[in-house]
Amino acid sequence: SPAVYSLDGLLVFGLLLVCTCAYLRKVPRLKAWLLSEKRGVWGVFYKAAVIGTRLHVAVAVSCVLMAFYVLVVK
C-alpha cells in the first residue's frame, strides 16, 4: 500500500507541508501569491504556515523525531 495510507506517512506529509508553508511565508512574493487566502483550499496552506511559524520549536522537534523514526526504527 502507498505510504500516504499509513499513519507515519501521513505524519511525514503533514510535517513537510507545515515546514514548507512556514518557509514560503518568509518569501515576500510567494507569501502574497500563495498564502494570501485565508479560506477555502488555499487557506490550508495559510493555516499550515501560521502553525509552522507560531509553533516552530514543536515542529522542529517533531521533524527530528520523525526523521529518527523513519531512518532508524522503520
pLDDT at 4 exceeding the cut of 60: no
Contact indicator for 28, 72 with CB cutoff of 8 Å:
no
Of the pLDDT bands very low, low, confident and very high (cuts 50, 70, 90), residue 2 is: low
User: Where is pLDDT greater, at 51 or 8?
Assistant: 51
- pLDDT tens for 10-69 read 889 999 999 999 998 888 887 788 778 888 888 898 899 999 999 999 999 999 999 999
CB burial string 7-38: b at 16+ within 10 A, e below: eeeeebeebebbbebbebbeeeeeeeebbeee
Amino acid (1-letter code) at residue 7? L
